[in-house]
Structure 1
Amino acid sequence: MNRLWDAPHRAAFFFGGLGAVLALAWWAAEMVMRLHGGSTHSAIPVMWLHADLMLFGFFPLFMLGFIYTAGPKWLNVEPPPLNAWAPAILAYTTGTALQLAALRWPMAWSLGDAMHWIAWVGATILWIGRMRASRAPDKKHATAVAFAFGLGAIALATMVGVSWFGIAAAFQPAVTLGVWGFLLPVFLAVTHRMLPFFSANVIAGYTAWRPGWLLGAFVVLPWAHGGFVLMQFNPVAVDVLFAGLLLYTGWRWRLFASFKNRLLAMLHASFAWAGIAMLLFVAQDIADALGQPLFAFAPLHALTIGFFATMLLGFVTRVTMGHSGRPLVAGAVTWTAYWLLHGVALARVASEIWPQAQFALHAAAGIGALLAFVVWAGQALPIYLKARADGQPG
């Protein structure tokens, strides 16, 4: 167990993985009970707790593990010391544990959200400190992540307003800030830096394409969409541009050529969901403008499950293999779990298009997501407790 604290990604991925499995276990149970006319009967509005756990319960832990491990290499600085990053990860994990405890003791929800906010502010300050210590000439990606982390702190503070002070009107802004101000810009900034680099090492004849303007667009366009939504304007113009850019980038990054290598294909196939999700948002925007609501939560889940969740499995698997001294290979079990999660995204999107089967598809998606993460966790979590296979530190 002492190996857990050898590097930030070990502890953060371990606790993030546990948090994901437990959160998905609750949601799968809720979906199955709804299929049979029941519910978990939480004193907290179920959709509020669902959004809070799925957006803020475990994704940020994986982000901290990645950025504190890979980020210092970007900046050519020493990684933060154990006594700096460990409290941030432990505090954030405690917040997630309290959120889960709220299923039994509702008061724990507000405590968990407050703990998340405190931990995230500290974690963000720590990352900014590494940036300030750096003399690297290129800090674009680090800066993009820092700004998104800052908006993440605002999103978490807004969620505290919901859970602690009962401000119902703050719920949707918290979700909007969380998705469009925080999570999506971080995922895209990291993808912009890492995916072309990985591809250039695998795809014959490919030269990494990651212009600075593309990174800027990957940050500004999500913020523009979120801003339009918060101001209750239709974001169709932003979404059309965003969808086109994401689809073009996927083609330019050689999506189909990536399938010669499973681990690389996982990243490319996940990125494809970002463009698909934005196309669904465009269709939804047009339908809203015509007064004919369409797709309900399908675009949002195409983004959060299709892109966020599958990309999480892809990136974390690659970091886990590379930083444990193991071959950069996705085994059959991990590969299967990964594609099961794509099936989950498809089922959740289909549930909004096929309302007659909605409850059955929700239950299938809930069970599928839980199974995918349980299988992945069974492969990955024990690695974080063991020494590196190559004998190297970290």
Structure 2
Amino acid sequence: MFKVLLSRYQQTQLAPHRLGFLAGGVLLVLSFAWWAAQMLGRWQGLALPSAVVPMFLHGYSMTYSFFPLFMLGFIYTAGPRWLGVASPSRAVYAPIMLGYLLGGLLVLASATNTTLLSWGIVLQLTAWLAGLALWLRAIFASSVQDQLHARMVALGFALGAVGLSLALYWALSGEYSAWFAAVQIGIWGLLLPVFLAVSHRMIPFFSASALPIYTPWRPKWWLYTLVGCSLLRLVLIGFAINTLVVDAVMASILLYTTWRWDLKKSFQVKLLAMLHAAFAWAGVAMLLSVISDVLQLYGHLGLGFAPLHALTLGFFCCMLLAFVTRVTLGHSGRPLLAGGLAWTCYWLMQGVALARVVGELMPSIQALAYAVAASLAMVAILSWSRVYLPMYWQARVDGGAG
């Protein structure tokens, strides 16, 4: 048994994405399992015990728990190719990823003991700073002229460190404002800029590779404008200023991009359609934000958390599932084909996003919508994980390296 476990661990060390995706997958399952239990309990009118206020733990874990590990796994694998530098050694990246994983486990365990929250965030912040330093070292060592995407990722990582620092202050002091700032920075400073940078670089590339007649479109102004708007939105939120104008600009660009990248044509290839359909949620989320902003200007409550969950569950989580599936298949030596399981799990996750948004728009069925979202999420994530997570400790099927 020990030899088997050792062999599997060694396999996870063959490429950064293996360990990063496996560790991220573990936290993905656990984070959603805890959230699902809370949602199902709410549906039944039960308040499940938690040492940390559930909303606070949910906001932190869904922002900083699993996404960063997937990001590290991807950027340490693909990033060196972007920059023309050597890949980091496992002696360097493995402690970073394992430290972040351990921190994430402690944060989730803080539902039973609040002391674990601070220790978990300390570990995650320390690991993240080391991960940021490793990525910056790669950028500084590169002589490639086009470093736009690499630097945008670095910017997101740096703001992520700021967010984690504020989260630690929240854990130590209990200050709500620190938690709120940490989550907002995580969404608009870390997650959205990184997802935009990777989408801008990879979706047109993948589309041109998979479709017979396709002209990639990815102007630099697109990324500068959207990331700039995301950061401006973060500032406006900090000063409690209505974000209508910024949201309208972002919605217009993102919805146009969905059309320009040809969502309809992408359905010729399922694996490609998964990327495009996930990206479409970004424009929908910002359009919902515009509607909510207008309602608030006229004294109404707005659309609640509908825009936020369209962005986080629709864009971030669906894109994560689509992108990680593609990278996993390609780097495990398997054909780039979305089989029935991946395709089904992906659309179940789309259903999670839709149910969560509908629950905000229709308060009369909110509890039921929460239960539906929670149930779909667990079926999708557990089914996907059962098949894909073992690939990270298995040898490539084509006998190749990595």
**TM-score > 0.5, shorter chain as reference:** yes
Q: Look up the match of 1:132.
A: 140
Partner of 1:78, secondary structure, is coil
Give the C-alpha shift of residue 256 in structure 1.
0.5
1:163-182 alignment, distance < 5 Å:
163-182=171-190
Query: Does the Cα contact within 8 Å between 1:221 and 1:242 map onto a contact in 2?
Result: yes
Partner of 1:392, secondary structure, is coil
Partner of 2:240, secondary structure, is coil
Query: Does the Cα contact within 8 Å between 1:277 and 1:300 map onto a contact in 2?
Result: yes
User: In the comparison of the two structures, how many residue pairs are matched?
Assistant: 394
Residue 55 in structure 1 maps to residue 97 in structure 2: no
Equivalent position amino acid for 1:57 in 2:
S
1:45-124 alignment, distance < 5 Å:
45-124=53-132
Give the C-alpha shift of residue 222 in structure 1.
0.8
Counterparts of 1:164 and 1:59, CA distance in 2: 23
Equivalent position amino acid for 1:113 in 2:
I
Q: Look up the match of 1:199.
A: 207
Give the C-alpha shift of residue 277 in structure 1.
0.2
Counterparts of 2:42 and 2:201, CA distance in 1: 42
Which residue of the other structure, out of 287, 295, 299, is the alignment partner of 1:287?
Answer: 295
Identity of aligned residues (%): 48
Residue 301 in structure 1 maps to residue 309 in structure 2: yes
Counterparts of 2:174 and 2:364, CA distance in 1: 34
Bigger shift: 186-195 or 196-205? 196-205
1:217-236 alignment, distance < 5 Å:
217-236=225-244
Partner of 2:49, secondary structure, is coil
TM-score, with length taken from structure 2: 0.97
Counterparts of 1:113 and 1:287, CA distance in 2: 37
Which residue of the other structure, out of 346, 352, 368, is the alignment partner of 1:344?
Answer: 352
Counterparts of 1:272 and 1:12, CA distance in 2: 26
Counterparts of 2:366 and 2:237, CA distance in 1: 26
Equivalent position amino acid for 1:327 in 2:
P
Counterparts of 1:208 and 1:78, CA distance in 2: 28
* Per-residue Cα deviation, 1:268-303 (whole angstroms, up to 9, x for no partner): 000000000000000111111111012100000000
Equivalent position amino acid for 2:398 in 1:
D
Give the C-alpha shift of residue 378 in structure 1.
1.0
Equivalent position amino acid for 1:109 in 2:
L
Equivalent position amino acid for 1:135 in 2:
S
* Per-residue Cα deviation, 1:283-333 (whole angstroms, up to 9, x for no partner): 111111111012100000000000000000010001001111110011101
Counterparts of 1:260 and 1:132, CA distance in 2: 40
Structure 1 residues without counterparts, runs of 5 or longer: none
Counterparts of 2:174 and 2:283, CA distance in 1: 36
| Runs of 4+ residues deviating >2 angstroms | none
Counterparts of 1:279 and 1:99, CA distance in 2: 33
Which residue of the other structure, out of 289, 308, 312, is the alignment partner of 2:320?
Answer: 312
Give the C-alpha shift of residue 218 in structure 1.
2.6
Q: Look up the match of 1:149.
A: 157
* Per-residue Cα deviation, 1:236-287 (whole angstroms, up to 9, x for no partner): 0111010000011111111110000000000000000000000000011111
Query: Does the Cα contact within 8 Å between 1:334 and 1:379 map onto a contact in 2?
Result: no
Partner of 2:113, secondary structure, is coil
Equivalent position amino acid for 2:53 in 1:
P
Partner of 1:10, secondary structure, is helix
Equivalent position amino acid for 2:376 in 1:
G
TM-score, with length taken from structure 1: 0.99
Equivalent position amino acid for 1:284 in 2:
S
Residue 21 in structure 1 maps to residue 29 in structure 2: yes
Counterparts of 1:279 and 1:135, CA distance in 2: 40
Counterparts of 1:52 and 1:303, CA distance in 2: 16
Which residue of the other structure, out of 39, 44, 50, is the alignment partner of 1:36?
Answer: 44
Counterparts of 2:331 and 2:209, CA distance in 1: 17
Residue 239 in structure 1 maps to residue 239 in structure 2: no
Give the C-alpha shift of residue 43 in structure 1.
1.8
Query: Does the Cα contact within 8 Å between 1:44 and 1:106 map onto a contact in 2?
Result: yes
Equivalent position amino acid for 2:76 in 1:
Y
Equivalent position amino acid for 1:50 in 2:
H
Give the C-alpha shift of residue 165 in structure 1.
2.1
Which residue of the other structure, out of 371, 380, 392, is the alignment partner of 2:388?
Answer: 380
